[in-house]
Amino acid sequence: MSWLPESAPPSIRLLPLITCVLATFVAGCSLVPEYQRPDAPMPAAFSGASSSASLHATLPVRAGWWHAYRDPALDALVDDSLTHNYSLAAAVAAVEEARGTAEKVGASQYPSLAAGATVDRSHQGGHHGSNSKSQSVFAEARYEVDFWGLNAANANASALLARASEFDRDTVALTLTASVVDTYFSVQSLHRRLALAHTIADDASHVLQLLLAQQAAGVATELQVQQQRNALATFQAAVPALEQQLEIAQHALAVLTGRAPEQFAVQQVSLASIPIPQPRPDLPASLLQTRPDIRAKEAQVQSANYVVGAARAAFLPGLVLTADGGLASKSLSRLMASPFASIAAALAAPVFDGGALRGQLHASRGTAAKSIADYQQTVITALQEVEDSLTAAHQQELVEAADRSAADAAAKAATLAEAQYRLGTVDFLTVLDAQRTRFQSEDTLMQARLARLQASVSVFRAFGGGFGVTDAATASPDSSTNLSRS
């Protein structure tokens, strides 16, 4: 150490060497229970996965999955949400907080070294009294020998909680991106449904004007006129309801992207032009790596396992080694002429604590048992979400095909009814029923298209959206040294 002069005695000059030896001295054994991944029901395959789909027709679930919809406006909104969303920003900050806590806890595994200096000046006697000065420099090293792995267990538990917070952040990002895509599709669907409602209302208004003219000519009856007025009012009432839904959806989309809802608008895109990708179902066991919520829960299980080891080690005695030394003098001319040094070891063991240590061990075991149950529940919930999303994707495809056929037939029936009414071959009630059926069929088809798009989003989300594999380097739960220093 350059701050020690050549004249310093050997006991002082050995202080850095003692510190280095203590820093590399790791003794004892670990009392952490051997970790095993908790058992959870894991089927061989998903029952909702389509066996007829070829690999060429499916897409792997990976980061940036929303690009599969080939909509630049959607891509921009998702990018904005990942950059400006405040909930995600809070999750990112939570990661930094957890990492800082882990770094603080991990510091207990290494020696601490402190250095300082003092200068003292005193005056004795009256006006012609004497002055005295003293100076000193000193250093102190401290190291707790981790015989039973207490400090290492606490460090690893904290480091694993930091990893869990990283996966929690990924879960927030996955939820956020899926919500943005879902809401964007809802906005586009509502735009189309609103335009359809305006068109149907305009058509009904034209029919009403025709009926009024026919009534004046003595051809149409008052009953027919009032029936059409009722139909027109019904179609017009759908407009403000859809406008309200559209505005609420746009407000939600603005907030998801970190913007104020005022003056926020989305460019209109036809849902029919957006392709519906078919995500490729992986094996159920893959969820343990691709779902960030599952990985977060497992990291919490591993952390709780280390906490149990720390609670066990707390029952055993601990050894603290200290070494301090320095140089002092009473005048500037003899600076650092009086060396001093000491080395000490303190051994402490709990004797009676009123059951505090035993209670801590019981609490740690309870926390570990709870974390295992939470992990298992998360796994089976993930399996349910995948099965639900695969079922919805398949069934909604069938629903949309049926609704499209119904809408085509209803449109043709309405056109034929209006033409035959003008020729006098059908009554007006037939026309009225055909109009209502056409509106309902087209609106139902639009909702079916939305449901199918959102079902595909739910499949991407259920398989983890690629967020769970963004950090491929998963630390081993048994690699305590590497983990605590990462």
Over the stretch 115-136, which tens digit does the pLDDT of each residue have?
877 777 765 655 665 666 677 7
- Could you state, in order of their start, the residue ranges of all structural domains in the chain? 39-114+147-320+356-485
Strands in 318-329's sheet, in edge-to-edge order, are: 112-124, 130-145, 318-329, 338-348
Q: What's the rounded Cα separation, in Å, for the pair 273 and 411?
A: 21
Q: DSSP string spanning 206-268?
A: HHHHHHHHHHHTTSS-HHHHHHHHHHHHHHHHHHHHHHHHHHHHHHHHHHHTT--STT-----
* Least confident segment among 66-70, 248-252, 353-357: 353-357
**pLDDT value, residue 12:** 45
Packing angle, helices 86-106 and 150-216, rounded to 10: 180
**pLDDT value, residue 367:** 94
pLDDT exceeds 90 at position 228? no
The sign of the dihedral angle between the CA atoms of 157, 159, 161, 164 is negative
Mean pLDDT, rounded, of the chain: 83
Provide the residue type at 349 as one letter: A
**pLDDT value, residue 327:** 67
**pLDDT value, residue 15:** 46
- Average pLDDT of the segment spanning 102-109: 89
Over the stretch 402-459, which tens digit does the pLDDT of each residue have?
999 999 999 999 999 989 988 888 887 788 888 888 888 999 999 999 999 999 999 9
**pLDDT value, residue 110:** 85
Residue partners of 480: CB distance under 8 A and separation at least 6: 30, 32, 149, 152, 153, 155, 156
Q: What's the rounded Cα separation, in Å, for the pair 146 and 144?
A: 6
DSSP-based three-state secondary structure for 420: helix
pLDDT exceeds 90 at position 256? yes
- Quick one: tokens of 325? 């030394």
Over the stretch 7-31, which tens digit does the pLDDT of each residue have?
444 444 444 444 444 444 444 567 8
Provide the residue type at 344 as one letter: A
- Quick one: tokens of 477? 């739960």
pLDDT exceeds 70 at position 307? yes
- Which stretches within 116-221 are classed as H helix? 150-216
Over the stretch 53-96, which tens digit does the pLDDT of each residue have?
555 667 888 888 999 999 999 999 999 999 999 999 999 999 99
Q: What's the rounded Cα separation, in Å, for the pair 246 and 254?
A: 12
pLDDT band at 329 (very low <50, low <70, confident <90, very high): low
For residue 318, list its beta bridge partners: 348
CATH 2.60.40.10 assigned to 39-114+147-320+356-485: no
Q: What's the rounded Cα separation, in Å, for the pair 301 and 478?
A: 13
**pLDDT value, residue 56:** 64
- Quick one: tokens of 114? 């402190």
**pLDDT value, residue 71:** 94
pTM reported for the whole predicted model: 0.81
pLDDT exceeds 60 at position 225? yes
- Average pLDDT of the segment spanning 218-234: 88
pLDDT band at 261 (very low <50, low <70, confident <90, very high): very high
* Least confident segment among 151-160, 168-177, 279-288: 279-288
- Quick one: tokens of 93? 């900050």
pLDDT exceeds 90 at position 139? no
**pLDDT value, residue 475:** 39
